[in-house]
Structures are given as C-alpha cells and as structure tokens.
Structure 1
Amino acid sequence: MTNDAEPSDADLLAAIASNASDRVARNEAQATFYARHVRYLYGALRQREAKLLSLAGISAEDLVQETFHRAFERAHTFQRGDVEDREHERHRTRAWLGRVAHNLLADQLERFREVSASPYLERVACDGIDAEPSESRELDLVSAGLESLSEREQDVLRVTALYHRAGEHQRLPNAVSAELAARWGTTNENIRAIRSRALKKLTEFVTGRIGQENVP
C-alpha cells in the first residue's frame, strides 16, 4: 500500500466500482482518477498510436474518453497487487489503462474493417490475382480513400463503422442519424444519401488503386 494521504488509484477504482458508494463519491473518485492520468494517456496515444488511430477512424481525444469510460465500467477488474509506493502504483495503473485503450482500438479497427468487407463496400479483389491484398495494404487504401472524401462524408462513414456488422443490413439508430443530421445541418434522409455516395466513392477509390497497382 502507498503511504500518501491522497487515495491510491486502487482505492479510487474501488470507490468507483462499489455499489455502496454514493453518486457524489463515485463522481469525485472518477474526476480525481481522470485528472491524475489523462495527460499521460493522451500523450502516449498521440505518440505511439497515430497511424492506427487514423486507420481505425478515431482520434486520440475520442479514444482517451472511451478508455476512461470503459475503465470506470470495468473498475472492479483492477488488481491492486503488491504495490509498495506511489511510483509503482502509477506504472501499474497506466499499464492497465494501456490495455483498456489497446482493446478498444482493436475493437474499433475490427469494426472499420467490417465495413470494408461488407455488402456496402465490395471486397478489394481483382480477377486473375491469386493472392488477396494484405490486410495492412487494404487498410492503407481505405485510409487514403477516406482522406479523399469531404469532412462530412468521412464523419458519416466513421459513425457508420460503429454500428455496422458485416453480413447484416443495418440502419443507423434514429437518434444517431438525427445527431449527424443536426451536426451537418441536413435531414436524416440526406444522411443516408451521403453515406451511399461516400461508400461508392470509397469503393471506386480502393478498387481503382488496386487495379493500377496490378497493371503489368
């Protein structure tokens, strides 16, 4: 255990996870834990995860917020361990937060890949080519294709990636579609049209680049 008067990370997470804690106490514990680690986590993600963040369609800022949200939901899984001082405790906590962020990023990347493999975005393939494009190359092309789209089109597609599952015909939840429409000053119907056009552009970009790369 640490000897500092301030509550340890383990104590804060225990308070967050405890059903016995009142709402004010939980909120205070969350705020203290967040302030203690947010600068480190943001810096680590910006420095080390820039490419994956881009490919997965999520910013460092958003991933930081999602990480703390998930950490608070899973606070009961944190293991205190045999920590002797505050420095060792901080390393242990930040390693745990790093694993939470890594798992969230992996989930996000998988969702994004599912969109590229879904009926809405035909799989990248060319007749007469035996080997399928590598996963990393496919993601590189999708990332480049997204950059060629307008900011509005990118936003709509990235939100789509959060709610789509490969092989299933799904519509965005009405509340999500309405939020997108409000954000871009348009209608729910036009959001669907924007998504359709953006997917077509992205498909043409990716398949066009693959075709150019495989011309003898």
Structure 2
Amino acid sequence: MITALVDLLGIFYANNDLSNFEVIARSLQAAIPNDLVSLQFLGLVYYRTGRVDEAVSVFERVVRRCGCRAAAPADADISDNERSSTVCLRESTRPNPLLAKAWHDLGAVLLQLRRFELAIPALRNSLSAEPDSTPAMLALGRAGLGAADLDLAHTCFSTVLEKRPESGEARIGLGLVLPETPQVRGGLGVFRQSPRVQERRGAVARGWRSWAV
C-alpha cells in the first residue's frame, strides 16, 4: 500500500494536482501517524496553496519529531509506525524524477523559510531520487551556505562545475564559499571567471550573495 500511495504522490505532483496530492499525503499520515515524509509533503502543499502559517506549523512539528528520534536510546524498540515510516522514506527516495521534483520544491520552500536543517535532507532526498539533477545540487549548495556548512556547499558547487563548467551559478556559489576559507585568492579567481559576473558583475554579485544567505 505504501508504495502505491507514494507513486500517486509523484504522479499528482507532476500534474500539479495539489488537491489530490494533499489527499494522498493525508492518507499516508493517517496510516502512519507522525510519518515525516507525508508531514513534510503536507507542509509543501500548504505553502504552495497559500496556507503559510499551517505550513510553518507542520515544519515545526517535523523538527520536534526529528528531535524526539535523535533523543531516543540506541537500543529502543522500533515501533510498527517507525518501520512503516522507514519504508515510506525508502520508497519516496528511490529513482523517480516525479518524486525528485516534489522533494526539490520542498527544499526550495524550506530555503525560503530559512529552515536549513530541513532543507538539506529534503534536497538530499531529491538527489537520491534523481542523482543527476543540477538544480537540486545547486539548491543543496545554497542550503549548505545558509547552514554555514562550507564543506557541503563546496562539494555541491564543485560537483556541478565538473559536469557543467559553464555554470555561472556554480562558479558564483563556489566564489562565495572560498573567501570564507584560507583559499581566498582561489575563491576570488573562481568568482571572477563567471561570464555572468563579467557581464553583470554588480547586480549578479548582490543577487547571489542575498540568495546564498
């Protein structure tokens, strides 16, 4: 049942059918109380349909739920709900570009809300579902910058540049990372190589610096 419901989530989201996407997320939440996947997707649909306060409330609930899990003893018994939640996460992060889009958009919403601690795993899940996604990798780099995880940001922007040397976004992102490390000169060099910076240096630099934090 879980696999079928997760597949429907991807199909409805790809078709921008947010009403049925919400129905399925609620069905999963009813079947697996406090499941983190369906909770986060409910937050996504609330945000996208203008119910921002409800979305924020859901994301705060997710943070509390994650805290409870982290505080649980290592040898604590695993409940049936937790086993089902594990299955739900596994099914929602298997290769599937439809679900990758939902995870990516969730990460983008969390970035806007500056909930970097939730944005990072959401974007990692997007990459699990679609490993070659450049937008998700760039967004994960942005989340790393927001969370002051410079190693993560550096890895993400460098990975994009290996595949797409022409990416101005990745060059600027990497340029923002490196000045915060001892490799200042290297960072400035990368930053200045971006064709977009050379064409619109002032506007782009301001826009991306604002974007990064």
Q: Which has the higher contact order (CA 8 A, sep 6+)?
A: 1
TM superposition score normalised by structure 2:
0.31
Q: TM-score, normalised by structure 1?
A: 0.31
Which is richer in helix? 2
